[in-house]
Amino acid sequence: MKKNNNLLEVPNINSSDAQVKNIIHKIKDNLFNSYYKSSKSEYLCVCSGGTTSGCARNGLITLDLRKEYNQIHLEKEKNLIKIGGGVIMKDLMNYLEKHNMTFPTGLSKLPGAGYLLTGGISPMSRRYGLAIDNIESIKGYLGNGTFISLEQNSLNSAQKLLWEGLKGAAPFLAIITEIGLKTYQSYPIQIIEGFVNDNELSKIINLAEGFPENLSLQWIYAENIYIYIFAEIKNDSDNKTTKNYLKKLKKFTSLKIQLYENYNQINFFPKELDLFELNKNNHSEVISLLGGNLKDDIQIFINCMREIIKNKPNKSCYVASQQLGGKTKEFDDKTSFFIHRACTWKPWIYAAWKKDDFKEKEIVLKWMNESWKKLKIFFPKIHLAQIHNHLDSHEEEVYLSFGERLSELKTLKNICDPESILPPL
């Protein structure tokens, strides 16, 4: 924490620069009973990892969970780990590595519980499901101040809808102080990575849409294109399958193979690639999309990407993507509020500008929205990994995230958070 109480030290520069009203670290009764009764226009910002631009706002109060809710406890005989709502993924993975265990975290190790509760898409998701598919228990406080302690295997009929709501839409409903997660035995990982051109990317996407569940594709399209093909080698079958795909990938001569002892050792999109970096002079927004297999539209998509990248306003802007499928498609839409189970791809648009340059901000956000519009034909849904209630697109994003379950979510919101202490829908 910086000495100036108006500054919150977090990875997201937008939030770090916010002139907050106050920062609190522990949940007490007066959080619900006094802070917000006087103003309907205020809501509480919650910081778990601090990578989202919504964990602090000018003039609002931020609850920073990282100091008081950072406990980690492994029940190895049950393959279960319980973590506080302020534990970041780096600390979770470092802890699990010591016990030769792992969990399907994302490409970055900086996020906190927000990653877990809003879906949680990982290179490992095709085999182990989304992060929310691996939640076994949840503790915390609803927006109305009620303490909750839920176990997946002992839910009563009244708790079922709330449990589903917390898996995918928790930031609107509750402050989560503890999460119980399934863990998995750690295995070696092969990464096939390198720069490719857009014609090669189209061929690799086509190949990836036939991948088995132990493989997944990640790519980033900035000034140049960089890809990661992730392969977990759990058994002889994985080894054989991966070798067969390596033969098909040999024609892409720029790709190289790296072997890692476990998932935690991988550093996705490192700064050394000079693709992008956390720049303290930049503010940014990210919008995440969802869509199915591209199939015969891959080349049309690549043409669209060429146009988007050609028009990007500065070098800090880019488009990237992760692959879903496999296990993530096996879950019913009703098991959580991540309803887009048929989706295969999660691309995201990263838009950045110099923090005090309001003209550039306007240009960059226009590029982000225009790019989104162009990509909607391929990826019509939204993964609400970041909440944008400060942007004009918020209402549409919420609708495209929760679809036919939005009315249920609004009902839950009215019950769990009637005073709208937490971010609004």
- For residue 35, is pLDDT > 60? no
pLDDT, position 280 = 82
pLDDT at 420 over 60: yes
Give yes or no for residue 272 having a pLDDT over 90.
no
**pLDDT the model gives residue 277:** 65
Q: Answer for the pair 283, 17: CB distance below 8 angstroms, yes or no.
A: yes
Q: Are 417 and 169 in contact (CB under 8 A)?
A: no
The predicted structure's pLDDT at residue 30: 76
Predicted TM-score (pTM) of the model is 0.94
Report which of residues 390 and 188 the model is more confident about.
Answer: 188
pLDDT classification of 31: cutoffs 50, 70, 90 = confident
- Among 19-23, 262-266, 285-289, the range scoring the smallest mean pLDDT is 19-23
CATH of region 72-185: 3.30.465.10
Residue 133, helix vs strand vs coil = helix
The rounded percent of the chain whose pLDDT value lies above 70 is 95
Q: Which two tokens stand for residue 208?
A: 């990836």
**77-88 tens-digit pLDDT:** 999 999 999 999
Q: How confident is the model at residue 28 (pLDDT cuts 50, 70, 90)?
A: confident
**Predicted pLDDT of residue 34:** 58
Specify the pLDDT at position 7: 65
Residue 388 has pLDDT above 70, yes or no: yes
pLDDT at 41: 54
Answer with the residue of higher pLDDT: 305 or 4: 305
Poorest-confidence range of 218-227, 263-272, 307-316, 371-380? 263-272
CA torsion, ordered 8, 10, 14, 16, to nearest 10 deg? 30
Helices marked H in 49-190:
89-98, 113-117, 125-128, 160-169
**Residue 6 pLDDT:** 55
Q: Which of 23-37, 53-67, 188-202, 322-336 has the lowest mean pLDDT?
A: 23-37
Residue 226 reports pLDDT greater than 60: yes
pLDDT value at residue 4? 42
What per-residue confidence (pLDDT) applies to 53? 86
Kindly report, residue by residue over 96-142, the tens digit of the pLDDT. 999 999 999 999 999 999 999 999 999 999 999 999 999 999 999 99
pLDDT of residue 271: 73
% of the chain surpassing 90 pLDDT = 82
Is the pLDDT score of 2 beyond 50? Answer: no
DSSP-derived secondary structure for 156-200: -TTTHHHHHHHHHHGGGTEEEEEEEEE-EE---EEEEEEEE-HHH
pLDDT for 38:
47
| Direct distance between the N- and C-terminal alpha carbons of the chain, in angstroms, rounded to an integer | 30
| CB-based contacts of 94-99 (< 8 A; 24+ apart in sequence) | 94/264, 96/183, 96/186, 96/264, 97/186, 97/262, 97/264, 99/74
Average pLDDT over residues 170-179: 97
Rounded CA-CA distance 414/154 in Å is 25
Q: pLDDT at position 3, please?
A: 38
- Average pLDDT of the residues of the chain: 93
Q: Where are the domains of the chain?
A: 72-185
Task: State the average pLDDT over residues 188-213.
Answer: 97
Evaluate whether 123 touches 190 at the Cβ level (below 8 Å). no
What lies within 8 Å, CB to CB, of 263 at 6+ separation is 93, 102, 105, 123, 124, 186, 189, 232
